[in-house]
Amino acid sequence: MATSSTDSLISAIPTLTHLPVVHHLVTIKLTRENYLLWKAQIGPYLRGQHLFGFLDGSRLAPSPYLGLTFDGSSQPQPNPDHHAWLIQDQMILSALISSLSENILAYVVKCTTSRDVWLTLERMFTAHSRARTMTIRYQLSTLKKGDSSIADYFHKFTGLVDTLAAINQPLTEEEQISFLLAGLGSEYESFITTVHMRTELLSVETLYGHLLSHELRMAQAQPKVDLSLAGAHFASRGGLSSRGGRSGRFSNTTQAGRPSSGQRFNRGRGSSNNGSRPTADLTNLNVRVDEYQCQENIRVGNGSGNGENIGARPE
């Protein structure tokens, strides 16, 4: 009797949806930091399998037993729909658990249904999502273009906006444009004024295209400096200064080499520097004071001489 009841129960079970190995489709395991990314993968996967009702409560568990007869004479019979629901729910529960990291798994180890796991995780990360929303809105309000390009600035901006949308806190088109324009510098003041004067609201993508065009026009309007001409002008000024410096040094050297007026030196036949010219390099002089042995007579301005030998003095 029991065998026939079991066989009839199995034959009455509706067709189950066998889930493929979930880690081939859901590549990100849930951690404390990536709940939004994990949820963005799990949700579409289960909706595509027509199983998301097990998580949101739209497919609740049927009664475990079939209704009794009016006279109450027969024994309650197991409900095959409940059995099928339980099997399918355990498949979903296994898929969810396999997508959790070890740190998160400790919080859902006592959950017995897939919906219990889903609600537990949702409660865990709701408070975190609120704090995350406030943080992202603050980052948007303080985001500045600075020295970065329009493309880099817009990339940072859209990253923050997309994060808000992922946690069910999307910004309106007008809010996005307000945040985007507020981060521009003073060089875009005329552009911002033009946007504010428009009667129709631009889309964020259209505004981004206008910003790229405005950035290009500003770059083309900047004056260009010819570095080759500037270098030639600098070299010309430096060359004149150098020639002037060399001329001054040569003049000073020449004047220093001339004998003073009213004096004349006659070199004797023993002079060792006959025919030599004045030089500014002392290394070219071969005369040493302690080795000078020549004898010369000195004459004064009237041509007379005292005949005194000015050779080496006797010790």
**Residue 21: is its pLDDT beyond 70?**
no
**pLDDT for position 301:** 54
Question: What is the domain partition of the chain in residue ranges?
Answer: 2-67+74-126, 143-221
pTM: 0.48
- The pLDDT tens digits of the residues spanning 270-312 come to 444 445 555 555 555 555 555 555 555 555 555 555 555 544 4
Q: What is the mean pLDDT of residues 55-61?
A: 93
- The pLDDT tens digits of the residues spanning 228-261 come to 655 655 566 555 444 444 444 444 444 444 444 4
* DSSP string over the chain: -HHHHHHHHHHHSPPP-PPPPGGGT----B-SS-HHHHHHHHHHHHHHTT-THHHHSSSPPPPSBPPPPTT--SPP-B-HHHHHHHHHHHHHHHHHHHTB-HHHHTTSTT--SHHHHHHHHHHHHHHHHHHHHHHHHHHHHH---TTS-HHHHHHHHHHHHHHHHHTT-PPPHHHHHHHHHHTS-GGGHHHHHHHHH-SSPPPHHHHHHHHHHHHHHHHHHS----HHHHHHHHHHHHHHHHHHHHHHHHHHHHHHHSPPTT------TT-S-TT----S-GGG----GGG-------B-TTS-B-----SSPP-
Please state which of the ranges 80-84, 104-108, 199-203, 280-284 shows the lowest mean pLDDT: 280-284
**pLDDT for position 10:** 45
